Amino acid sequence: QKEVEQNSGPLSVPEGAIASLNCTYSDRGSQSFFWYRQYSGKSPELIMSIYSNGDKEDGRFTAQLNKASQYVSLLIRDSQPSDSATYLCAVDNQAGTALIFGKGTTLSVSS
Amino acid sequence: EAQVTQNPRYLITVTGKKLTVTCSQNMNHEYMSWYRQDPGLGLRQIYYSMNVEVTDKGDVPEGYKVSRKEKRNFPLILESPSPNQTSLYFCASRRAGGETQYFGPGTRLLVL
């Protein structure tokens, strides 16, 4: 069974700090990696995708991928209370027919 | 507006009473999926469809059926619901080769 692991949290950071979210995956053949944000009672929303080793930056968000270590991370700089949500790591299966989701990390940003 | 719609949004039913949750997308996407989300278990794929008349099982298909007669619609059918199917259900779609999967607003189902 292919797995995606995340710390459930909660991860608590003060406003303006950097939040670091981590994810590991079991399938070495995975090629596509995603971070979704889900507010309570709402549907998941894609915030970052990454396909190559290294960093990818988009505004306050940076995704990092290390395929050798089977590790994906998301950094949120200058965290805001509006960033308080559950962050889901997702990995594409090799056939491209499904996203395998982690259980999510709950982030709380205090003002 | 590009969107995935689901109906109903909330449903309370009793064991054994057949129900259908509808899903529709207006983006002409080829791929559609159904997920369920449960506390402590995360999002798990129930069924997916790669195009009209092409469907296949995901990780947790038992007790569910789907059909894809039209590209835009992908209904989820519970022929004989049981309490362990109480969950939050999401429909999702994406373009073939596309990276962004769009989720519907969710359907919260309670089976008594």
Residues on B contacting A at a C-beta cutoff of 8 Å = 31, 33, 35, 40-45, 48, 50, 56, 58-59, 90, 99-101, 103-106
Q: Which amino acid is at B104?
A: G
Q: Are B100 and A42 in contact (CB < 8 Å)?
A: no
What's the pLDDT tens digit per position in B59-87? 999 999 999 999 999 999 999 999 999 99
B112 pLDDT band (50/70/90 cuts)? very high
pLDDT score, position B16: 96
Q: Are A44 and B56 in contact (CB < 8 Å)?
A: no
Distance of CA A43 to the CA centre of its chain: 15
What's the pLDDT tens digit per position in A97-108? 888 999 999 999
Q: Are A43 and B40 in contact (CB < 8 Å)?
A: no
Q: Which burial class, exposed, middle or buried, applies to A17 when counting CB atoms under 10 A from its CB (0-12, 13-18, 19+)?
A: middle
Asked if residue B81 has a cis previous peptide bond (ω within 30° of 0), the answer is: no
- The answer to whether the CB of B112 falls within 8 A of the CB of B61 is no
| Interface test with chain A among B37, B49, B88, B95, by most A beta carbons within 10 Å | B37
- The answer to whether the CB of A5 falls within 8 A of the CB of A22 is no
Half-sphere exposure of B87 (CA within 13 A, CB side): 23
